[in-house]
Structure 1
Amino acid sequence: MNDSRQEPAAAATRAEREAFYARIGADNLAPLWEQLHNLVTRTPRSDCQPAHWSYGKVRPYLTEATSLITAEEAERRVLILENPGLRGKAAITTSLYAGLQAILPGEVARAHRHSQAAMRLILEGSGAYTSVEGEKTIMRRGDFVTTPSWTWHDHGNDSDAPMIWLDGLDVQLVAMLDASFAEASSEDRQELRRPVGDSLLRYGNGLAPVDWTPPANRASPLFCYPYERTRESLLGMQAAGAPDPHLGYKLRYVDPLTGGSPMPTMGAYAQLLPRDFSTASYRCSSGTVFTVLEGRVEVVLDDRVFMAEPNDVFVIPSWTAHRLVAREPSILFSFSDRPVQELLGLWRESRD
């Protein structure tokens, strides 16, 4: 009897509330109590999904793209890596963009600059260049190359073979802040003001000009982190001791003068996994994009397993438990928005 009396009362209350919500909606108001559980969640809820791009499958599309449009027409000839949970948003995670860029012998991707910071991981070819703020860097496979926010940059290929690299940008972060600016140069190539490799000599040997001061974009003065040095450091770690059970042998790329990340919005990492090494289950709050540089790695998720091979790209969303199993001695590169989360006191990890 009590239940039958309560049902009409509850229905009346719901109707009264819905009418109230409609009235206040007309004045651009909404009740927090209807949305609080979606806004403040116990753990991250991301639209980002785990995803894997096989380089063997994607590479022919890049070849086809080079026959369809020139670098000059496209400005940047790139195939976006769209996360399946974020289609139409040009996003690989909720905060980051990634794409594969191709440039043919003799081509130039003309100079421009923008608010978004960018990084390049060279996947194929050797001898093309990127120029940043008047300094040319010759790119080789595995090199990690940076283009800090609001720096002039152009790319060119003076080699005799195509060059392909992975682009990573903080596009979504900048868009969220409504802070996007861009400017095109009147010249295809910027004027060079320093010798090739100048930043590596000035800042890459434990030294710095005596009058150096941090730039406004708070980025590393190094524009290139050569893979041969990264690989040597990882092998040195391996020779010195046992791997971390959750990470293997893992290093972070740093600004040599501050110890911070190369760019304030994106962190980059290199990781070595010995043959048959399986990481313990791990998760963290920063969605992370991985690329295999050497070896073969089995990626184990709760509901999915896939094999990642050289030049493959895969993404692990925020707070997604995963294991990495090296079927061969393997080296991986990765990048994420971890520096932003750490600066805001938001980053966390779980080592199961």
Structure 2
Amino acid sequence: MTNDLQDARRALYEDMRALHLSPLWESLHTLVPRQPAPDYEAALWRYEDILPHLKRSGEVISAEEAVRRVLVLENPRMPGSASITTSLYAGLQLILPGEIAPAHRHTQSALRFIVQGKGAYTAVDGERTMMHPGDFILTPSWTWHDHGNPGIDGVSEPVVWLDGLDIPLTRFFNGGFAENGDSAVQPIARPEGRSLAAYGYNMAPVRQLHQRSSSPIFNYPYERSREALETLRRQQEIDAWVGVKLRYVNPLNGGAPMPTIGACMQLLPAGFRGLPHRSTDGTVYSVVEGHGVATIGGRRFDFAPRDTFVVPSWSTLALDAAEDVVLFSFSDRPVMQAIGLLREELLPQ
């Protein structure tokens, strides 16, 4: 390229800038890459490292004062973003015995995956459910919800859960709204267990139509999920890439529990050495049981119970388990499916 041509291009770009124009040919390969190039990276958060800071936060700020006492799991490549992927938020929330996290609602969809402790509840649109480790709980978009920790069966202990929300996605669409309740605790209109009884047994009420796009079940108990995984482990061939893996569904339509967030639970039998696979949905994992290794994009991450790790879009993942391992995961898969961007690949060894 001659100097005269270079000067002419620079002059053109400078003149266009005043009109808020830019040349596509200078950024085309970045805007339309040959494959996904996420702006975040694989990372692992060790629960044993986080727990002391959670405890300290419980000493300096109350649940009511904080509204939600949460330590955000922020992706190392996105400091200040309050995001674990470009579309998802994750954080560990602590509620102490006797505390109440006051009622509010927001357009962001949220899930709670219970990590440790018993005796706390969450209430969603007039129905409470007690929390147990491994339970998967929904607080769909614009539903009133509050949390409390009164104890149960004489047990009163701190309770920690993993929050997963579509905050970055909602922010991208400028669709974020929130509202605080008139009181810390919302009125209870239905007995505990009603939603599960009405919709959780392959049946649904004949004269009641669930109006929301999210699942009518808002607590998927770990006891039932674990039993299903164990039964399938004994009765079917183990998948060479994911072990035994089940996705949570909305029982009314077979889709994801919420329109923007999908979730799964999987079992890796002792001695499992998984083949690598990848997909375009960035995925957050919470370790429920067991120790193992996640190799993400060639990087090794040794995980233990209650750890959290993230697998970026289109990064290869291979899972190894020296002992039985159970993993909960959530991702933006429903959105990727809805807009035709979900792509998966199973790779050979």
Q: Which TM-score applies when normalising by structure 2?
A: 0.97
Is 1:333 matched up with 2:325?
Answer: no
* 1:210-225 aligned within 5 A: 210-216=206-212, 218-225=213-220
Is 1:186 matched up with 2:156?
Answer: no
* Matched residue, 1:4: none
* Matched residue, 1:346: 341
In structure 2, runs of 5+ residues without a counterpart are none
Does the residue aligned with 1:196 lie in a helix, a strand or coil? coil
* Matched residue, 1:108: 100
Deviation for aligned residue 1:238:
0.5
Moved more, 228-237 or 13-22: 13-22
* Matched residue, 2:78: 86
Mapped contact 2:96–2:159 kept (Cα < 8 A): yes
Is 1:237 matched up with 2:237?
Answer: no
Is 1:173 matched up with 2:169?
Answer: yes
Q: What is the rounded CA distance, in whole Å, between the counterparts of 2:208 and 2:81 in structure 1?
A: 39
Q: What is the rounded CA distance, in whole Å, between the counterparts of 1:133 and 1:30 in structure 2?
A: 49
Out of 129, 132, 142, the position equivalent to 2:134 is 142
Is 1:305 matched up with 2:297?
Answer: no
* Matched residue, 1:25: 17
Q: What is the rounded CA distance, in whole Å, between the counterparts of 1:127 and 1:199 in structure 2?
A: 20
Deviations 1:98-149 (A, max 9, x none): 0000000010000000000000000111121000000001110000000000
* Matched residue, 1:203: 199
Task: Kindly report structure 1 stretches of 4+ aligned residues shifted beyond 3 Å.
Answer: none
Deviation for aligned residue 1:301:
3.1
Aligned residues: 343
Moved more, 255-264 or 300-309: 300-309
Q: What is the rounded CA distance, in whole Å, between the counterparts of 1:244 and 1:76 in structure 2?
A: 39
Q: What is the rounded CA distance, in whole Å, between the counterparts of 2:296 and 2:260 in structure 1?
A: 27
Q: What is the rounded CA distance, in whole Å, between the counterparts of 1:91 and 1:273 in structure 2?
A: 28
Does the residue aligned with 2:131 lie in a helix, a strand or coil? strand
Shift of the 214–344 alpha-carbon distance from structure 1 to 2, 3 Å rule, reads: farther
* Matched residue, 2:319: 324
Q: Which TM-score applies when normalising by structure 1?
A: 0.96
* Matched residue, 2:246: 251
Q: What is the rounded CA distance, in whole Å, between the counterparts of 1:95 and 1:121 in structure 2?
A: 18
Deviation for aligned residue 1:300:
1.6
**Equivalent residue letter for 1:52:** L
* Matched residue, 1:260: 255
Deviation for aligned residue 1:302:
4.3
* Matched residue, 1:276: 271
Deviations 1:263-300 (A, max 9, x none): 00000000000001011011110110001101111112
Give % identity. Answer: 50
Q: What is the rounded CA distance, in whole Å, between the counterparts of 1:260 and 1:179 in structure 2?
A: 23
Deviation for aligned residue 1:215:
2.3
**Equivalent residue letter for 2:17:** G
Q: What is the rounded CA distance, in whole Å, between the counterparts of 1:17 and 1:212 in structure 2?
A: 66
Q: What is the rounded CA distance, in whole Å, between the counterparts of 2:297 and 2:254 in structure 1?
A: 35
**Equivalent residue letter for 2:236:** G
Q: What is the rounded CA distance, in whole Å, between the counterparts of 2:273 and 2:281 in structure 1?
A: 21
Out of 33, 49, 70, the position equivalent to 2:62 is 70
Deviations 1:163-182 (A, max 9, x none): 10000000000000010011
Deviation for aligned residue 1:86:
1.1
Shift of the 196–34 alpha-carbon distance from structure 1 to 2, 3 Å rule, reads: same
**Equivalent residue letter for 2:128:** K
